[in-house]
């Protein structure tokens, strides 16, 4: 119960941070990190995200993954009302219902992924493959985002960010297990920074619900895929994962249809 409570509070911090950063990035044609770093509210959002991640780590030390991970999915349900309040509106019932469908599908997916056994090891060639595949996928998603509707653009840009974050998480696991070369540590910031930049572009489009849901889906799925392809970890089998994936897809599509396009705001901190 303590682990679940801490993970839930961590999700709240993560949701608050994401909403604050989106509020600062929205409406910017090219939201650069240097410009955003000068905005106190965006920095506060980053600190909140770091606090949420720290609490999630603490929760993992106190309870099993099957309890902590579903609590992390709650950040989507927290983020939508917070973002709506920042933009001076109430979240629509259909918007929250769609987010609930995405959350249900994500919970199913994280619970169905088998736990890995033993330490992870990735050769230098494997790291290059990891970064190359993630980079290529991110570029293709970015290119595709230039030819779709605003909601689709938000989804593809956030998915691109999620792929890069998934690659970052995979490399981080290798580092934590100790089977690495010194240049692995130097390579780690590259996908992380690119993911952060891509996410701000997704937030700038304005469909926060779509971009945040797409990020929540792409990040863990990418990590699971890389774990299976490069680390030899097991994948879930049967019809249940397919149904869970279908739920997340249906919920994201519904969010794209119900999530409003936030307009650019004018405030002293964003001038």
Q: How many separate domains does the chain show?
A: 2
- The two structure tokens encoding residue 21: 């950063």
**pLDDT tens readout for residues 5-23:** 888 898 899 889 999 998 8
Q: Are 152 and 172 members of one domain?
A: yes
Domain ends where: 72, 91, 110?
91
Mean pLDDT, rounded, for 201-213 = 87
Q: Are 183 and 61 members of one domain?
A: no
Rounded Cα gap, residues 128 and 143, in angstroms: 22
Residue-level pLDDT at 268: 41
Residue 98 has pLDDT above 90, yes or no: no
Total length of the chain: 271
Model confidence band, residue 29 (pLDDT cutoffs 50, 70, 90): low
Note whether residue 242 is domain-resident. Answer: yes
Domain ends where: 71, 91, 111?
91
Q: Are 118 and 220 members of one domain?
A: yes
**pLDDT tens readout for residues 104-159:** 888 887 777 777 665 577 888 888 999 999 999 999 999 999 889 888 899 999 99
The per-residue b/e assignment along 240-261, b for 16 or more CB within 10 angstroms, e otherwise, is ebeebbebbeebbbbbbebbee
The per-residue b/e assignment along 39-67, b for 16 or more CB within 10 angstroms, e otherwise, is beebebbeebbebbeebbebbbeebeeee
Residue 269 has pLDDT above 60, yes or no: no
Rounded Cα gap, residues 205 and 163, in angstroms: 19
**pLDDT tens readout for residues 49-84:** 999 888 888 887 787 666 676 777 778 888 888 888
Note whether residue 225 is domain-resident. Answer: yes
Residue 262 has pLDDT above 70, yes or no: no
- The two structure tokens encoding residue 163: 């792929």
Residue-level pLDDT at 230: 86
Note whether residue 270 is domain-resident. Answer: no
Model confidence band, residue 258 (pLDDT cutoffs 50, 70, 90): confident
State the sign of the Cα–Cα–Cα–Cα dihedral 21, 252, 163, 246.
Answer: positive
Residue-level pLDDT at 66: 63
Range of the domain at 233: 94-261
Note whether residue 60 is domain-resident. Answer: yes
Q: Are 40 and 101 members of one domain?
A: no
């Amino acid at each position: 119960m303590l682990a679940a409570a801490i993970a839930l509070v961590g999700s709240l911090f993560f949701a608050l941070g994401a909403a604050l950063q989106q509020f600062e990035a929205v409406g910017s044609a090219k939201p650069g990190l240097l410009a955003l770093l000068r905005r106190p509210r965006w920095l506060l959002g980053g600190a909140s995200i770091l606090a949420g991640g720290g609490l999630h780590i603490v929760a993992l030390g106190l309870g099993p993954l099957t309890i902590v991970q579903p609590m992390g999915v709650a950040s989507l349900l927290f983020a939508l009302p917070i973002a709506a309040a920042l933009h001076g509106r109430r979240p629509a019932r259909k918007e929250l219902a769609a987010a609930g469908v995405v959350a249900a599908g994500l919970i199913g997916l994280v619970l169905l992924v088998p736990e890995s056994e033993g330490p992870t090891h990735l050769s230098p060639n494997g790291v290059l493959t990891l970064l190359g595949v993630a980079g290529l996928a991110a570029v293709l998603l970015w290119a595709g985002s230039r030819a779709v509707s605003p909601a689709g653009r938000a989804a593809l840009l956030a998915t691109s960010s999620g792929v890069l974050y998934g690659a970052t998480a995979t490399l981080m696991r290798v580092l934590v297990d100790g089977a690495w070369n010194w240049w692995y540590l130097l390579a780690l910031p590259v996908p992380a920074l690119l993911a952060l930049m891509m996410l701000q572009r997704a937030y700038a489009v304005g469909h926060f619900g779509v971009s945040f849901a797409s990020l929540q889906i792409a990040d863990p799925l990418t990590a699971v895929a890389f774990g299976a392809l490069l680390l030899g970890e097991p994948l879930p089998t049967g019809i249940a994962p397919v149904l869970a994936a279908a739920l997340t897809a249906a919920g994201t599509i519904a969010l794209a249809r119900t999530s409003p396009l936030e307009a650019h705001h004018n405030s002293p901190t964003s001038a």
